[in-house]
Structure 1
Amino acid sequence: MAFVGKAKKAPQHFETPEEMYLRGALPRTSQAVPSLWLHQGDVIRAYAEKHQTTPDLALELPTGTGKTLPGLLIGEWVRRKGEGPVLYATPTKQLAKQVAAAAKREGVPVALLIGSHTSWNLADETAVESSEAIGVTTYSAMFNSNPHVPVPRLVIFDDAHAGEQFVGHEYGVDIRRSADEDAYLAVLAALRPFLSGLLLQRLESAPDPGAHHQVRLILPAADPDALAALDAALAKLAKPYKFQLSMVRAGLASCLVYLSYGGIQIRPMIPPTFENKVFTQAGQRVYLSATLGAGGELERAFGRREVTRMPLPGKTPPRSGRRLFVFPDLAAGGDGTALTKRLVGLTDKALVLSQDTVARARATAESLAGKDVPVLGRDELEQKGLEEFAKAKTGILGLANRYDGMDLPDHACRIVVLDGKPDAVGLQEKFLSERAEANAALSERIRTRIVQGAGRSTRGPNDYAVVIVRGADITKYFSRQDNISALEPEVQAEVQFGWANSRGANPDVVVENVATFLAHDKEWRENGEEMVSEFREDAFKIEPPAAEPLGKAAPLEVDAWNLAYSGDWIGASGKIREAVVHVGPEATRGYRGLLLYLAGVWLHLGAKDETERARARELVREAGLAANRGTWLREMLPLSAGGEVEDSPMDVVAVNEIVARLRGRMRPGAITAELAEMQAALAQNEAARYERGLTILGKYLGASASKPKGQARCDSAWEWGTALWVTVEAKSEEREDGLLPAKDIRQANTQLDQLAHDRGADHAPAGSVVVLLSERLAVDPEHASGANPYVYLTPPEVVFGIAGDVTAVWMHLLAAATGRMSETEQRKHVRAVLGDNGCLPSQVVDRLTQTRIRPGD
């Protein structure tokens, strides 16, 4: 019979999602989880009791403690009320499929809406629209110029802590030179008014020592003609750029341009999600997050002024398995790669997470794979899904920037490799980290990525996995007590236990310990587990000092960017200035400088009279004072006469010294030979030659450079008059644990005072620094607090890169020295060439001082 009868009865309603679950209203399968965990029940009960109508609500569910089931239960409970569609959004298609599979097991009706909307099943679309099923989709299906999902009564964002990566990046144009050099060069040409001829030439040509990888910031609105040219250049680009442009073209004037040799990123700092009707008209937005944080990360990532946070009840978060952290670069012998390969070989099954490119992530996985062990990457994951890797007996899966959304529980994978610190996902992050010295604004994001990545293979309270921490930058990250203290106590204990059992350990012992952990038998439970518990007793979470001020500033920043995107420059500047009031502590100085600069530029763009223009120039000058050294500010176009940031005194000294040499009796051949000697000396390790190379380098940076006499003195001192001094000390002695010893720190603490005594001064000029050059990965956390705040640890390759840039500078200056420039013209020329190559003293100091030894500064 083909006739249809009466429609089925409407679903039964329940007081809470928990009641719906416990009373068996869902047709759960035999593969469903046995029951709710206690904290899951607490979360969904609190939602029903207090937050059914809260517009923006963040629920805290730490990694490995089960976010999906509470999210589905809340979604199903709301769907049954028949008040409108319910959407469940995930960062990736692969995760969306995982959620749909989980929903099927738990008896929750869902429809997958992923990929191109033209391929969606009409029945599925209708089911979501009519609230017969929850629509499981991706962030990108919602955050695009023409979303085809319905405006929901409720939208749930899974892994919302990754919002910046999957929402912020949707609002902008991202051009990678390696993928599309023609597009890169076309947009670079439009940016010509913001670049000197020499810098443009270097960016257009093959990379050379002068084209170091620093990111430059450009505000295209500062030059209306250039903004029009940029818009025209972007409009001519093919897919996918035309779709990216459509997301921000209406507010292109408010976008920032981040420019490096390797790529161009054009985007607002905070995405204009207020333009997206599906997002803004939703009855409620619920963010499932592994961490709530206090620094305003969710507000900035999703462009929402206020997100109400609902933390887990109780002071102790639920346990999400046991992780054994291993730091192979700290083990005896110094061959961290070989040890990592041995550890991976214990199971021949590992997930390798990197922030580098897809190709590099796969290459790293290949380097760690044993003979005949299959290697997989992004392409295989997208084609075959995670399930195939999870079921395989062996395999190494290498992925870039995928710290969320992959569940590999139990025996699916017992080893995770964290390959490098995830602090530069995109050029905006790289600029904030390396140029604006605004790491405080990224700390919550970085910490969450690390914890999320470490938890990919511990998906329940009894699960366990080895976490191999590989690379100098991430090892240094874990050497800082302030970074450790910001973690949950359980993770703190695991990290500290792993550090203690890696530092200076015999590689054979490390392999044996890891094998014991993987066996997870009586020996581990009675020995290792007890030792981790001892570390746990002394662990307390301490929020970073920057978190509270950044959290207070976040709503004002969201307002400001929305106003700027709409062209209300005066209003935007005012809101940023309100935010600056909160961003005042030392920990947020770099970020404060950036906000002040934006406030100045925006005020200038909207100024109606000279009074407002004068105030705009004053804000830019305040930005220069607020930012630590603010070298990036001196690269910006001046607003108008008197609006530029003044040259640093040390830069003035250097330029004058170099001009004097060029206008004096110089011998180009001798200079060329000395520069060649410098590069050769800095490429080898013999102490006396290396010291000589450092002193030559200081000389060609326009400093008075010398090797101080006496015992325990630095290898070279660079003095730019009374403006600033730098002492440089190269350390090459070997230590089994790969850490800088306490005696080196004590010696470094005295170097500026000794130099001041030599010069008959009471103290060194303000801002002077001590630089320790060492291949050492990090400083022993026990000794780091004893370092003076002006002592930094820097790898020797940074100095070698500066030497290459200095050589390029002088080759150019020598070629132009025979011209008939006036002294004033030559001074401008020298400053421009130094600046374009990152060789002004202020820039050099920035490059040498990326890693302060003393924690908390």
Structure 2
Amino acid sequence: MAFLGKTKRTVQQFPSPEELYLSESLPRTTAAVDSLWLHQGDVIRAYAQDHQDTPDLALELPTGTGKTLPGLLIAEWVRRKTAGPVIYATPTKQLAQQVAATAEREGVPVANLTGSAKHWDPADEASVEGSEAIGITTYSAIFNSSPKLPEPRLLIFDDAHAGEQFVGNEYGISIRRYDDENAYLEVVEALKPFLSGLLIQRLEGEPDPGAHHQVRLILPAVDQTALTKLDAALASLPKPHSYKLAMIRSGLAACCVYLSYGGIQIRPMIPPTYENHIYARAKQRIYLSATLGSGGELERAFGRRKIVRMPLPAKTPPRSGRRLFIFPDLVKGGDAIGLTRQIIDLTHKALVLSQDTVSNAEAVAKTLAGDNIPVMGRDDLERQGLESFSDAPTGVLGLANRYDGLDLPGDACRVVVLEGKPDAVGLQERFLSERAEANAALAERLRTRIVQGAGRCTRGPNDYAVVVVLGSDIMKYFSRPENLKALEPELQAEVEFGWQNSKGADPEEVIENVEMFLEHGGDWREQGEPAVAEFRQDAVKVEPPGTDALGKAAALEVEAWQLAFAGDWIGASEKLQKAVPHVGPAATRGYRGLLLYLAGVWLHLGAQDETQRSRARQLVREAALAANRGTWLKEMRDLPGAEDVPLVPEDVAAVNQLVARLRGQLKPKQINDALTEMRAALAQDEATRYERGLTTLGSFLGAEASKPKGQGRCDSAWVWDTTIWMTIEAKSEQHGDGLLPLKSIRQTNTQLDELAADRGMDHPPAGSPSIILSDKLSVDPRDAQTANPNVYLTSPAVVKEIAGDVASFWTNLLMTAVGITSEQAQKDHVTSVMTENGCLPSQVINRLTQGRIRPGD
């Protein structure tokens, strides 16, 4: 073979990505799309005109409207136009394969750089390094302790709205107890200086209600000895934990530890991506997102101070198909699972998305699948690819936390089931949601997952699919007007149409509607589409409360976490203190408390004099005020020199009452018998016995507890002097999901005023709540408006947990408190034991008032 002479590599360039697409330069296959959609052309044209040099740019292309092709065209245009590698990243390998297939179809040269770097084809690496092809990879190939990719001119992140899940979690160690109990217990051992003896006993023993669901926050930096032990414990863990430790070890002091019975997560709240040379040195980073909220979610997820948003140039986003929402829990009969099975039986095929574990998600899929219908899960998807499901004539695919990257257009799948609300992916999210009352900070993330999940089977403007919303928690989400209004108008209309046609409907009628929709013929066009259009006329998108505040704080938070990770505690605290005024609305109150606490701890860690230490303690006190009844703060270690935070009046009243009881004619056997009967009563349904159990529970919490006399009165009233009262209306005999009846709300509205009249007072003490206990945890949006602001809806399961904790702390008191002679010492001991068990009145009220019925700030 003769040697080739010298040739010059030349690449034809074009003024814009749109002209590149319109040229004949791309060797497109016969399967390529005929043309760009109007909005796709608008996006790439706007990019070329205004944003070629914007360092961090987010492009909004709603799910099902084609993000990949515009992303590839921009990538190819930049590759041809500038010297330097171009990398296109996706959250998963399966998504990377889809992008590569699209690139091949459209004639865009790409090279596969997924999986372990040692298995990459050297020729592929060279082609990316030499700007001859676009590198297709995954987020994890970029965000790891030793990335092997070339430093790119341009980085494109597909499905960037999933950034927190696929970037933030790379900068942390997650240990599931049931996967590796030895590793879990080794880390718990290092954390013992932060834990009480009771909590250690609970974590090392069998799970109980008081420990199993609770997430504790620990900041190990406040105890240098404990931090050293934690570092040593983590360093002894095997792979893959050792890889993750390498990502955070230099800034371990800045990391938060989230501890629960089921697992441990150690990570900074915002990832230090500035340390990653592949990411940080790229000339431009483009984030392709289905939704571009304004609450700072992208900035926090990727650790960037500012990401410029370029929304769709068109005022009206393209429609990505039609969805028929079904809410089985609202349908007559109370058999939501059975109705969902019937819907799936119409096509014998469905995608089931759950926020639970992989095993539970697949178990739900098996429950919903009909006889002889194959069930697939994550392992099948990874081994055989999505085609194994999409091409199959029948099947149910069950996946956990996979709300992105599944394209099932046309007849590939016509039914998607959203099982459960996807609001607690990881312990950090659980802490923010369940303990810190910082749901506003998670709202954008949660909304995106739901929108993405609902769109998995509608991948084009003419596509259509049924979306089954299964479970009381996700149904409750859609029942909140502020959540519904935050959706795009088209989706609002679809949800509202589905809600109204599910509520109180006969199951047979619902199945007929689904059949009509799936036929998608004249009957649907004549009856269904006009009705959806009516709802669409009134729909207007409104950002939820607190969104603007969170967006303004994001840049300062990113800077603060960068400084903390680098050990600049003073600078980090100052940044967070500047962020706090932005998160001032009531909707972000819980998040403000968390920021204030972190600012106080960081200032203490860097303090050089007593003035700074005093200011640190003041910030912690302000955090307690901002967090209102936030019980997590009571669990945190006091800063040295901090004064004891005085008990709130209702806690003082309770402690005084219990100490008086302990110092009186105490009969331990009688108390133990009462505790046993209380727990038994609250574990059954019969109304009269349940009411007695509630009143007993209130008395063991130091309240004057009784069942008020008279028709239509509450089932139990708990009174802590004149400090705070609580009325409880229990619907223990009403089971099943569905909507809380309007009459229950109206009845509860008056309970506190009636109690005040009984006691000769004009009104109840400020802040007193009224609680409705019911398994029906959703309220019709129109009925919610009638509730007083102090009316809350709570599951009876919460009361059972409180009863278990009350039994624990009384058992402790009977063994330890009786022998204490000093009354003050006894009060201190009772306070400590109640606090540890979450049983101070302020803590109990917090546990019972997580679900206010009336919408608003």
Task: Tell me what 2:471 maps to.
Answer: 471
Contact 2:391/2:412 (CA < 8 Å) preserved in 1?
Answer: yes
User: Distance between the aligned counterparts of 1:205 and 1:325, measured in 2?
Assistant: 44
* TM-score w.r.t. length of structure 2: 0.98
1:640 aligns with 2:640: yes
Structure-2 change in CA distance of 1:343 and 1:823 (3 Å): same
5 Å-filtered alignment, 1:73-88, equals 73-88=73-88
Q: CA deviation at 1:229?
A: 1.1
Amino acid at match of 1:803: A
Q: CA deviation at 1:150?
A: 0.9
Amino acid at match of 1:335: D
Task: Tell me what 1:771 maps to.
Answer: 771
Aligned-partner SS, 1:266: strand
Residues 58-108 of structure 1: per-residue CA shift (max 9 Å, x gap): 000000000000000000000112420000000111101110111110100
Task: Tell me what 1:515 maps to.
Answer: 515
Aligned-partner SS, 2:81: coil
User: Distance between the aligned counterparts of 1:154 and 1:636, measured in 2?
Assistant: 44
The more displaced of 352-361 and 838-847 is 838-847
Structure-2 change in CA distance of 1:821 and 1:388 (3 Å): farther
1:617 aligns with 2:617: yes
Amino acid at match of 1:781: P
Task: Tell me what 1:173 maps to.
Answer: 173
Task: Tell me what 2:322 maps to.
Answer: 322
Aligned-partner SS, 2:594: helix
User: Distance between the aligned counterparts of 1:819 and 1:243, measured in 2?
Assistant: 52
Contact 1:634/1:645 (CA < 8 Å) preserved in 2?
Answer: no
Aligned-partner SS, 1:285: strand
1:46 aligns with 2:46: yes
Amino acid at match of 2:480: R
Aligned-partner SS, 2:266: strand
Aligned-partner SS, 1:740: coil
User: Distance between the aligned counterparts of 1:446 and 1:201, measured in 2?
Assistant: 34
Residues 718-774 of structure 1: per-residue CA shift (max 9 Å, x gap): 122222211110125769992112222122111112212222233222221111011
Q: CA deviation at 1:245?
A: 0.9
Contact 2:59/2:288 (CA < 8 Å) preserved in 1?
Answer: yes
Residues 264-285 of structure 1: per-residue CA shift (max 9 Å, x gap): 1111111000101110000100
5 Å-filtered alignment, 1:87-102, equals 87-102=87-102
Contact 1:198/1:833 (CA < 8 Å) preserved in 2?
Answer: no
Q: Give RMSD over aligned pairs.
A: 1.5
Structure-2 change in CA distance of 1:717 and 1:736 (3 Å): closer
The more displaced of 728-737 and 749-758 is 728-737
Aligned-partner SS, 2:397: strand
5 Å-filtered alignment, 1:283-682, equals 283-643=283-643, 645-682=645-682
User: Distance between the aligned counterparts of 2:364 and 2:3, measured in 1?
Assistant: 61
Contact 1:728/1:772 (CA < 8 Å) preserved in 2?
Answer: yes
Contact 1:150/1:278 (CA < 8 Å) preserved in 2?
Answer: yes
Task: Tell me what 1:698 maps to.
Answer: 698
Amino acid at match of 1:23: S
User: Distance between the aligned counterparts of 2:553 and 2:145, measured in 1?
Assistant: 28
Structure-2 change in CA distance of 1:675 and 1:31 (3 Å): same
Task: Tell me what 1:686 maps to.
Answer: 686
Contact 1:624/1:645 (CA < 8 Å) preserved in 2?
Answer: no
Task: Tell me what 2:13 maps to.
Answer: 13
Contact 1:621/1:644 (CA < 8 Å) preserved in 2?
Answer: no
Contact 1:58/1:307 (CA < 8 Å) preserved in 2?
Answer: yes
Aligned-partner SS, 2:750: helix
Structure-2 change in CA distance of 1:736 and 1:269 (3 Å): closer
User: Distance between the aligned counterparts of 2:587 and 2:234, measured in 1?
Assistant: 37
Gap regions ≥5 residues in structure 2: none
Contact 2:817/2:829 (CA < 8 Å) preserved in 1?
Answer: no
Amino acid at match of 1:574: E
User: Distance between the aligned counterparts of 2:703 and 2:214, measured in 1?
Assistant: 23
Q: CA deviation at 1:649?
A: 2.6
Contact 1:637/1:644 (CA < 8 Å) preserved in 2?
Answer: no
User: Distance between the aligned counterparts of 1:53 and 1:211, measured in 2?
Assistant: 51
How many residues align? The count is 857
Aligned-partner SS, 2:379: helix
Amino acid at match of 1:367: T
Q: CA deviation at 1:685?
A: 1.9
Q: CA deviation at 1:31?
A: 1.1
User: Distance between the aligned counterparts of 2:619 and 2:761, measured in 1?
Assistant: 35
Task: Tell me what 1:251 maps to.
Answer: 251
Amino acid at match of 1:284: Q
Q: CA deviation at 1:800?
A: 1.5
User: Distance between the aligned counterparts of 1:645 and 1:262, measured in 2?
Assistant: 31
Aligned-partner SS, 1:191: helix
Contact 1:331/1:737 (CA < 8 Å) preserved in 2?
Answer: no
User: Distance between the aligned counterparts of 2:244 and 2:189, measured in 1?
Assistant: 19
1:112 aligns with 2:115: no
Task: Tell me what 1:200 maps to.
Answer: 200
The more displaced of 258-267 and 677-686 is 677-686
User: Distance between the aligned counterparts of 1:717 and 1:44, measured in 2?
Assistant: 63
User: Distance between the aligned counterparts of 1:643 and 1:174, measured in 2?
Assistant: 35
Contact 1:620/1:645 (CA < 8 Å) preserved in 2?
Answer: no
Q: CA deviation at 1:648?
A: 2.9
Contact 1:504/1:737 (CA < 8 Å) preserved in 2?
Answer: no
Residues 628-669 of structure 1: per-residue CA shift (max 9 Å, x gap): 312111111111233554433322322232222222211111
Q: CA deviation at 1:684?
A: 1.9
Task: Tell me what 2:4 maps to.
Answer: 4
Contact 2:790/2:852 (CA < 8 Å) preserved in 1?
Answer: yes
Amino acid at match of 1:289: S
* TM-score w.r.t. length of structure 1: 0.98
Aligned-partner SS, 1:442: helix
Amino acid at match of 2:795: P
Q: CA deviation at 1:244?
A: 1.0
User: Distance between the aligned counterparts of 2:644 and 2:390, measured in 1?
Assistant: 57
Task: Tell me what 2:272 maps to.
Answer: 272
Task: Tell me what 1:131 maps to.
Answer: 131
Amino acid at match of 1:339: L
Contact 2:732/2:796 (CA < 8 Å) preserved in 1?
Answer: no
Aligned-partner SS, 2:765: coil
Structure-2 change in CA distance of 1:520 and 1:6 (3 Å): farther
User: Distance between the aligned counterparts of 1:141 and 1:715, measured in 2?
Assistant: 58
Q: CA deviation at 1:595?
A: 0.6
User: Distance between the aligned counterparts of 2:212 and 2:108, measured in 1?
Assistant: 53
Q: CA deviation at 1:802?
A: 1.4
Aligned-partner SS, 1:642: coil
Aligned-partner SS, 2:128: helix
Structure-2 change in CA distance of 1:436 and 1:316 (3 Å): same
Contact 2:212/2:262 (CA < 8 Å) preserved in 1?
Answer: no
Task: Tell me what 1:839 maps to.
Answer: 839
Contact 2:736/2:776 (CA < 8 Å) preserved in 1?
Answer: no
Aligned-partner SS, 1:459: coil
Amino acid at match of 2:203: L
* Percent identity for Structure 1 against Structure 2: 70
Q: CA deviation at 1:780?
A: 1.1
User: Distance between the aligned counterparts of 1:353 and 1:313, measured in 2?
Assistant: 32
Task: Tell me what 2:67 maps to.
Answer: 67
Contact 1:704/1:720 (CA < 8 Å) preserved in 2?
Answer: yes
Residues 373-404 of structure 1: per-residue CA shift (max 9 Å, x gap): 11111111111111111100111111111100
User: Distance between the aligned counterparts of 2:243 and 2:803, measured in 1?
Assistant: 42
Residues 794-835 of structure 1: per-residue CA shift (max 9 Å, x gap): 111111121122122222222334544643443333333323
